[in-house]
Amino acid sequence: MNSGSDDKVTPLRPKRPCPECGKPSARETYPFCSVRCKDIDLNRWLKGAYVIPGRNDEDETDNDPPK
């Protein structure tokens, strides 16, 4: 058993800066520092601000023979 509070506990996740504001992350809202920053990020996802552009398939189709 642990004999005292002198033992160092290794966190499961390393502390990282919040991706929104740069403050240290909190365990409850990881990787964010607060519920506010977490909600800001969620709002961006819901509005479609994070979009990966796709290729334009109108000019190309997979059924066309190679030229």
- Which is more confidently placed, 17 or 11? 17
Q: Convert the pLDDT of each residue in 28-63 to its tens digit.
A: 999 999 999 999 999 999 999 988 888 887 655 556
**The predicted structure's pLDDT at residue 57:** 72
Domains of the chain (ranges; CATH) run: 14-49 (3.30.50.10)
What 3-state DSSP class applies to 41? helix
Query: Quick check: pTM over 0.75?
Result: no
Question: Amino acid identity of 16?
Answer: R
As annotated, the binding site includes 18, 21, 33, 37
Half-sphere exposure of 46 (CA within 13 A, CB side): 6
As annotated, the binding site for Zn(2+) includes 18, 21, 33, 37
**The predicted structure's pLDDT at residue 58:** 64
Confidence bin at 5 (pLDDT 50/70/90): low
